[in-house]
Amino acid sequence: MSEQDDIAKKDGLIIRAITNVMRPLVKFLIARGVTFPMFAEIMKHVYVEVAAKDYKLSPDAKVTDSRITLLTKVHRKDVRRIRTEQEGFDVPEDGVELSSKKASLGAQIVAKWLADKDYIDGAGEPLPLFTLASKAKGQPNFEHLVESINVDIRPRVALDEMLSQKMVVMGSDDRITLNKTAFIPEENFEELMGHFDRNLHDHMAAAVHNISQNEKGEHKKFIERSVYYKELTPESVEKLEQLVEEQGMESLITINKAAYDLAEEDQDKSGNDQRMTFGIYYYADKDDE
């Protein structure tokens, strides 16, 4: 196979993969009223932004409008407009700002409750907490937990929100119990979109990194594995879903504890500018292949 044929084959595989990957997103966009012209305008901004940030000829050089047009085929007039106006998109100079870069208060509370030694028992399970410090008599309580994260938010406000999201359960003894499946709120659309934003971005970034490393012949890759089976009955799929829910959540809790402890150790260290994401996903549907 000639080099030209190899390039054409790879291009065909990329286009086929992009088409398949985009189908669920386009289904969602249509349902939410995001039309193709709106999406095309968003993608123009993304193309211009990525070209300007990641395709500099040297680290200190600014990418010119002409070079961005050459790389992206976005018209130079649009490049100039996008770079100078950025109206309605609020894109910072250093790239797309993920809305979920800073975890919500509820997510921070859950993470600390599952990891901090003051709020877990000897087996690593989250302790039931008194709602108020005045009733706890020195025992772990929700009021102190919230104040250790954000002193500007009243603990009662945080509790009401977490109760409404079914992240905690109120007991008859005025103590609350953490719902261990509370990593994702059930009804808050803003919270759900935050997870959607971060999780899909980082999963895609890991996959693209791995493909790029493979083409370069390098071996430093992110873990990205899955288990795939066909010809299953709905009953079998339901059993597998329950197994994933149980074991997957335990994996999340284990990694959360380790990450929390390391983050505490790294608080005052130099070079603590790294972030990480670890996640799981499960999907099942009728096989249309």
Residue pLDDT, tens place only, 236-247 = 999 999 999 999
Which pLDDT tens digit goes with each residue over 86-117? 544 444 443 433 333 456 788 889 989 999 99
Percent above pLDDT 70 for the chain:
90
> What is the reported pTM?
0.73
What mean pLDDT is predicted for residues 119-135?
Answer: 93
**pLDDT score for 181:** 66
Q: Is residue 212 scored above 80 in pLDDT? A: yes
Is 150 part of any domain? yes
Q: Which of 202, 163, 184 is nearest to 104 (CA)?
A: 184
Q: What is the mean pLDDT of residues 128-142?
A: 93
Strand partners, 169: 177
User: Which pLDDT value is given to residue 67?
Assistant: 95
pLDDT at residue 184 in the model: 52
Q: Name the phi and psi angles at 54, rounded to 5.
A: -110, 0
The pLDDT value given to residue 4: 81
pLDDT at 121: 93
- What's the chain's average pLDDT? 87
Residue 59 domain-assigned (yes or no)? no
Domain contains 270: no
Q: Which tokens hold the place of 126? A: 């989250």
| 48 pLDDT more than 60 | yes
Domain, as residue range, for 138: 107-178
Number of domains in the chain: 1
Q: Is residue 35 part of a domain?
A: no
Report if residue 140 sits inside a domain: yes
In a domain, 167, yes or no: yes
Q: What is the pLDDT of residue 84?
A: 86
Residue 257 has what pLDDT? Answer: 93
Q: Please give the C-alpha separations between residue 230 and each of 47, 237, 238, 241, 243, in angstroms, as whole numbers.
A: 37, 10, 14, 14, 17
**142 is a domain residue:** yes
Name the token pair of 152: 């500007």
Give residues with Cβ within 8 angstroms of 9, minimum separation 6: 1
> What is the separation of C-alpha 111 from the centre of its chain, rounded to a whole number of angstroms?
15
Length reported for the chain:
289
Domain assignment present for residue 249? The answer is no
Residue-wise pLDDT for 7-31, tens only, equals 888 889 999 999 999 999 999 999 9
CA 26, 31, 32, 37 torsion-angle sign: positive
